[in-house]
Amino acid sequence: MKSKLILLEALRWVSASLAVLFILFLLGSTPDPEIPFETVEQAALARLDLSETQPGDATMLRRLYGLSASDFAGMTLYYPASNMGAKELLVLKLADESQADTVEAAIRARLQTQRDSFDGYGAEQFALLTDHAVVEIRGVYVLFAVCENEQAVRESFLNAL
């Protein structure tokens, strides 16, 4: 009886300590939410060729992604300037990280809609959307980019965090 209780108490302490260590590890690997949105936004924009795109506002964010700009702490959107364009950039700062799933699903839905639009119709755009799209969520910062050098944009975004 006594040894069983000692064993159970040990299990309680070990699991509680592991949970604390794990939370500390998670905190260590999460970006600082105090990094200004402008820093992250500029880092992503610096590597992007903005030709063939136009800046979007809250209405376009709602129309293209079904998201409300007022739900976020920061938003930058560049979307195709013509119907035959596929290049796109979205940088968001979430109000809190619980929004991450919703935002990711909205981005995936947007990407799928774009792919469906060009499937069997615009081979170049379809390839861009299939092979050169990147979605990155780190802490409260979100990047979605569709462009030829999407990895460079991603790296620049990550370096800013």
Partner 1 sequence: MAFGDLFFVFGFLPVCLLLYILTPGRFSNVLLLLCSLLFFAWGTPEYLVLMLCALAFNYAAGRELAALRDSGKKVLSGAVFATSVLADLALLGYWKYAGFVLETVNAVFGTSFAARELPLPVGLSFFTFSLISYLADIRRGRTDGSKDPLTFSLYVTFFPKLASGPIVPYPEMEAQFAHHPFSWRRFGAGARCFLIGLSKKILLANTLGTTFYALSALPPESLTAAFAWLCALSYALMLYFDFSGYSDMAVGLAGMFGFQLPKNFDYPYLSRSVSEFWRRWHITLGAWFREYVYIPLGGSRVHPFRIFLNLMAVWLLTGLWHGAGLTFLLWGIYHGLLVVLEKLVLKGVLETIPNAVRVVLTFLLVVIGWVFFFSATPAEAFTRLSRMFFLGGVADGAAAYYALGALRPLLLGAAAALPVGARLGRELARRGQPWTLLSIFYFAALLLLCVAGMMNDTYSSFLYAQF
HEC string of 9-66?
Answer: HHHHHHHHHHHHHHHHHHHHCCCCCCCCHHHHHHHHHHCCCCCCEEEECHHHHHHHHC
- The closest alpha carbon to 142, from 66, 54, 77, belongs to 77
Residue 123 lies near partner 1 (rule: CB under 8 A): no
Min dist CB 104 to partner 1, Å, is 8
Q: Which is nearer to partner 1, 55 or 66 (CB)?
A: 66
Q: Can you tell me which of 38, 49, 57, 101 binds partner 1, judged by CB under 8 A? A: 101
Residue 102 lies near partner 1 (rule: CB under 8 A): yes
H helices then E strands: how many in the chain? 6, 5
x/- letters, 8..37, toward partner 1 (CB under 8 A)? xx-xx-xxx-xx--xx--xx--x-xxx---
Residue 50 lies near partner 1 (rule: CB under 8 A): no
- The closest alpha carbon to 61, from 110, 22, 97, belongs to 110
Give the tokens for residue 14. 């070990």
Chain residues binding partner 1 by CB under 8 A are 1, 4-5, 8-9, 11-12, 14-16, 18-19, 22-23, 26-27, 30, 32-34, 65-68, 70, 96-98, 100-102, 105-106, 109-110, 139-140
